[in-house]
Structure 1
Amino acid sequence: MSEQDTRGMLPVADGRTVAARVWRMLAGRRLALCGIVVLFLLEAGLALVFPLVIGSLVDTVRAADGSGVPASFWWQVALLPATAVAAGLLAWMATRALARLAETVVAELREGYVAAALDLPRATIETAGTGDVVTRASDDIAQISGTLPDVLPRLSVAALTMVLVAGGLAALNPWFLAGYALTIPLYGLTVRWYLRTAPGVYVAERTAESARGHDILGTLTQLPTVTAHRLEHRQLERIKVTSWQTVRWAMRTRIVQNRMYGHLNVTELLGLLLVLGIGVWLALLGEASAGQVTAAVLLFLRTVAPIAELLFLMDELQSALASLGRIIGVTATRGATATDAPDTRSDAGPAVEVAGVHFAYRPDRPVLTAIDTRIDDRSVLAVVGATGSGKSTLASLIAGVYRPTTGDIVRRVDPQRIVTVTQETHVFAGTVRDNLTLAAPGATDEQITTALKQVGAEHIVELLPDGLDTEVGDGGHAVTAAQAQHLALARLALADPALVILDEATAEADTADTAVLDRATTAVTSGRSALVIAHRLSQARTADRIVVLQDGRLVETGTHDDLIAAGGRYADLWTAWETGRR
């Protein structure tokens, strides 16, 4: 049905899947679509009246032979603007109706993609990268929205015009149709070459754009980390590579387009000379009048633009179809992407048990080795260790994002009631109420206020101009990083999870906000089973139990006082942290 990019990006649907999904989306709209096609058919037919009337005028003028203007001349002249106005009116009606239908389908497609993306396993998102997810939601949707309402009307008119012109040429003289038909194989060769070459090039171009977007977005969103670890040169090199790949594929698409245009120009010239030659030959034989030859040439010229437009539109259509495949590649997996359910039990025991767990993202690079620990019911387990020791990986395993390479993780809580908050806190565009009720859509203002008070964040809302109705996020009232983290903890309290996982959830707080957010963390974990990846050791100190990771191994476990007394790795970290605070 779909294929996965070698870089681990999200799937891309094949042509059959795209066609089937679009056909299902048109259910209930097919009658309207047929009506639109009829309007385009009438518009194309009226547009062909013009060359036929011109041909008739030529014969009328020749037949007059200086004896005055015949009456038929005037109605033929009047017919020209009348048909043009009627054709324009029909085109406007059809285009308007099709735009409305297409935009509705695109809106449903956009909503379906967002819903499907939200349903994707977190491991899939992390492997693909936010750049691929965002590029599909922005660039690909924009490509589809900008192409379909514009291309489909022109494509319909072009196809119908070609058919009607064939009928008009046959009515004038079958030999004209024969000349027209001889050009079809030449166009067919161009189309065959283009359809064989273009789709892969367009998909590769869109994929390259996603890779570039992933690198740029990742660098900008994690700029403090990039700067702190002096990764500027590395990230710039990655962006240069993906940008150059995007340019290379863009150039390849231009080369494919230019070759197609060259084939078209040669075919058009040969076809025009052929029809004109047949017309002269028929006129010399007395089997066609000057008006008929004129009409035939004008009819053929009337097909030049639609045929060229068909192929030109195929260029835009291929790009839109590539984008459509990338969108449907995600929406088609909705409901079929769920990973194996985490192991759960309902018997008595710890909320979570981790037994002999080994994990590696790649077989040759183990991240966690022989991890044995537990999270007791309604107790807090803090995980301490240096950067790269495997803390966040352990949190992801316990959350069910990944499955252990070997070993077992048993949960005695409902997997749907496991909630993770990371340091990458996001403020959504909308009201404060909207941001909070994402965790509990039916929550009342009273419940929201209770959650805010639980974590000590009610003062944030009180200071906002419109309270819970204050618009925040993009284009709204600006909130600080600490306020965003505080609201995220309030949202967590509103969700009322059975297991809380805080993966350095308050790491971005300034020193002045540290104590406030630590109290909020303590409040939200109180009375709940919780795993806290401790960015500050003050958070570990208040935990019921602490485990220390070093190079992916669990090296110490115990309470704060026990570990300090042991004088091991944790004691060293505590001493260094205390010294740094002075």
Structure 2
Amino acid sequence: MIGVPPPSVDPAAPESATTLPVGGPATVRRCVRELLRRHRRALALLVGVNAVAVIASMAGPHLLGGLVEDLAAGDDVQLGRAVSLFAVALAVQTLFTRIVRVRGAMLGEEMLADLREDFLVRSVRLPPGVLERAGTGDLLSRVTTDVDRLAEAMREAVPELAIGVVWGVLLLGALTATAPPLALSVLVALPLLVWGCRWYFPRAPRAYRSEAAGYAAVSAVLAETVDAGRTVEAHRLGARRVALSDRRIKEWTSWERYTLWLRTVFYPVINLTHMLVIGSVLLLGGFFVLRGWMSVGQLTAGALYAQMLTEPVGIVLRWYDELQVAQVSLGRLVGVREIEPDAGDERVRPSGRDVRADDVRFGYGSHADVLHGVSLDVPPGTRLALVGPSGAGKSTLGRLLAGIYAPRAGSVTLGGAELSRMPTERVRRHVALVNQEHHVFVGSLRDNLLLARPEASDEELWSALGAVDAEGWARGLPDGLATAVGSGGLALTPARAQQVALARLVLADPHTLVLDEATSLLDPRAARHLESSLAKVLAGRTVVAIAHRLHTAHDADVIAVAEDGRISELGSHEELVAAGGAYAALWRSWQR
């Protein structure tokens, strides 16, 4: 068919921008089967109630056909009885249709809640590095746009599709039972309907998938530009970011236009099919009546059934089209199922608390390595400071030592056991990472702290807040630990949010900590006081502190200087100052 060709933009381009995959047909089918099996009783009830409503809706054509039959035969017409029966049937249909709508919406919401919970649970179980590489744009589009599209399908498409299928099957049965020859008239329009479906549905999924991927790419570009707005302005990248946004929007809108063109072809085909069904029923039925092969009453009832049949067919095709869109969104939500989280080897257990990096090499994706043969030995209880210029690889090394990333070559071990081979949950019990990004979750201050240790008492919570110099302002809150914080509640300043994160760390009580500028949001004097307080709490633990404030390095047992992805110096503060190398230069500039 001549028309609008699909965009030349390869849909894989935007899709490949994220490490989170889109669930394939097998994954989607498995998810749907799980949902249907889990809600089979509610679905069976929905189908049963719908069947009653459909049967009641067929009373009208049956009664009208009977009246026409009586009139043609010259018999007495029981009009009052017919009207009474029709009124009862109409009341039953209205009541049960309402029940179908309500039960269908409830079923859709329950399924949607299951999908949201499944996505959240599976996402948080993924290695942190996977989610970081996915980017905020893709994650946002999945939990907002895709969930919204899926919500509409769950609330309306699923119950409507069930209604349409049951309705269509029962109407075909009624048409066949009332006027068998007229059932053949449906076959007249079947080739056109089949052709339209075979043309449309193979093209639609890819188009909708590309449209969703294009929107995710647009979201990613806009979110990154807004988040890094000051950097974009400082480096005069505005024109480049605008051009990139324009290109992504153009790719997305081209797929939007293509999917719209597909619908402008498909929907008229459906309308033509409806006209053919009605026309063939009237023509064939009239011919059969003239031949005496069928009564006028049968033709009347059959024509009404055929006219009613166009509605469920339209419902099924229309909502199946919506399900094509929903299928893409569902595939994006269940795509996390195709990422097999590295469960690790349960047999791999640390035999000690020493942390060691041996000839570690690491790079992000296909880019060049940012760490080049780094070796480091951190005995238990050591306070190690990682210092160096920006871009030297300090934070990357810290994440490797915390088990967030796995090295491309070499090994990172805890107690002789490779962190990359240990189950993630076991790594988290031993090693904790606290960076500059601190989150305050919606809920009470108590709830935010209990995330680290759910069984902790209020006394332990206050003790943890006191250890990070937060007890004073926390005691002054309107409801103390019960004060609602986060979105919709009391907005905590970045410095207080950082203290809450550190209090969680105290409650979690790991024996090894990686602190990546964990006090950067506090002013230098407050940060110095907080670090002194934390030092008492963290005594005896292994601490790897990544710091730009060199007073943190001054207090450390060992200092490692990172330069160009390598450890250039290693020693105590006094030793490195005396050596007169890179650290000594940093210290002199810090003292000025």
TM-score by length of 1: 0.90
Q: Distance in 2 between matches of 1:341 and 1:569?
A: 43
The question of 1:477 aligning with 2:490 is answered yes
The question of 1:49 aligning with 2:53 is answered no
Deviation at residue 118 of structure 1 after TM alignment: 0.7
Partner SS state of residue 450, structure 1 = helix
Q: Distance in 2 between matches of 1:508 and 1:374?
A: 29
Tell me which residue corresponds to 1:429: 442
Letter in 1 for 2:214: A
Deviations 1:95-150 (A, max 9, x none): 32333333223222212221111100112111212332333233323322322231
Deviation at residue 386 of structure 1 after TM alignment: 1.8
- Name structure 2 gaps, 5 residues minimum: 1-11, 418-425
Partner SS state of residue 419, structure 1 = strand
Tell me which residue corresponds to 2:475: 462
2:358–2:412 CA contact under 8 A, matched in 1 = yes
Deviations 1:23-55 (A, max 9, x none): 334446423422321211121122122233333
Q: 1:131 to 1:41 in 2, by over 3 A?
A: same
Q: Distance in 2 between matches of 1:131 and 1:441?
A: 32
1:338 is matched with which residue: 332, 338, 343? 343
Tell me which residue corresponds to 2:421: none
Q: 1:309 to 1:395 in 2, by over 3 A?
A: same
1:190–1:263 CA contact under 8 A, matched in 2 = yes
Deviations 1:200-228 (A, max 9, x none): 22222222333333333344344455555
> After superposition, where does 1:129-528 map in structure 2 within 5 Å?
129-227=135-233, 230-331=236-337, 333=339, 336-338=341-343, 345-346=350-351, 351-363=354-366, 365-412=368-415, 415=427, 416-510=429-523, 513-519=526-532, 522-523=535-536, 525-528=538-541
CA RMSD of aligned residues (A): 2.7
Q: Distance in 1 between matches of 2:325 and 2:572?
A: 59
Deviation at residue 475 of structure 1 after TM alignment: 0.8
Partner SS state of residue 577, structure 2 = helix
Deviation at residue 448 of structure 1 after TM alignment: 0.9
Partner SS state of residue 356, structure 2 = strand
Q: Distance in 1 between matches of 2:513 and 2:440?
A: 20
Q: Distance in 1 between matches of 2:135 and 2:194?
A: 41
Q: 1:299 to 1:327 in 2, by over 3 A?
A: same
Q: Distance in 1 between matches of 2:537 and 2:468?
A: 6
Deviations 1:453-488 (A, max 9, x none): 112111121121111111111111011111101111
Range 120-129 or range 215-224, more displaced: 215-224
The question of 1:120 aligning with 2:126 is answered yes
2:386–2:394 CA contact under 8 A, matched in 1 = yes
1:537–1:574 CA contact under 8 A, matched in 2 = yes
1:539 is matched with which residue: 544, 552, 559? 552
Range 414-423 or range 307-316, more displaced: 414-423
Letter in 2 for 1:377: P
2:495–2:521 CA contact under 8 A, matched in 1 = yes
2:182–2:281 CA contact under 8 A, matched in 1 = yes
Q: Distance in 2 between matches of 1:563 and 1:500?
A: 24
The question of 1:36 aligning with 2:58 is answered no
Tell me which residue corresponds to 1:21: 31
Task: Calculate percent identity across the aligned residue pairs.
Answer: 35
1:432–1:470 CA contact under 8 A, matched in 2 = yes
Q: Distance in 2 between matches of 1:439 and 1:249?
A: 45
Q: 1:467 to 1:273 in 2, by over 3 A?
A: same
Q: Distance in 2 between matches of 1:25 and 1:524?
A: 48
Deviations 1:64-119 (A, max 9, x none): 69xxxx45122222333322221121122233233333322322221222111110
Letter in 2 for 1:37: V
Range 27-36 or range 433-442, more displaced: 27-36
Range 483-492 or range 552-561, more displaced: 552-561
Letter in 1 for 2:97: A
Q: Distance in 1 between matches of 2:475 and 2:584?
A: 41
Deviation at residue 281 of structure 1 after TM alignment: 1.4
How many equivalent pairs are there?
570
Q: Distance in 1 between matches of 2:520 and 2:244?
A: 27
Tell me which residue corresponds to 1:6: 16
Deviation at residue 421 of structure 1 after TM alignment: 0.9
Partner SS state of residue 552, structure 2 = helix
Partner SS state of residue 442, structure 1 = coil
Q: Distance in 2 between matches of 1:215 and 1:507?
A: 28
Q: Distance in 2 between matches of 1:446 and 1:227?
A: 48
Q: 1:400 to 1:37 in 2, by over 3 A?
A: same
The question of 1:87 aligning with 2:93 is answered yes
Letter in 2 for 1:433: R
Q: Distance in 1 between matches of 2:434 and 2:246?
A: 33
Deviation at residue 374 of structure 1 after TM alignment: 2.0
TM-score by length of 2: 0.89
Q: Distance in 2 between matches of 1:50 and 1:513?
A: 81
Q: Distance in 2 between matches of 1:362 and 1:322?
A: 26
Q: Distance in 2 between matches of 1:342 and 1:467?
A: 44
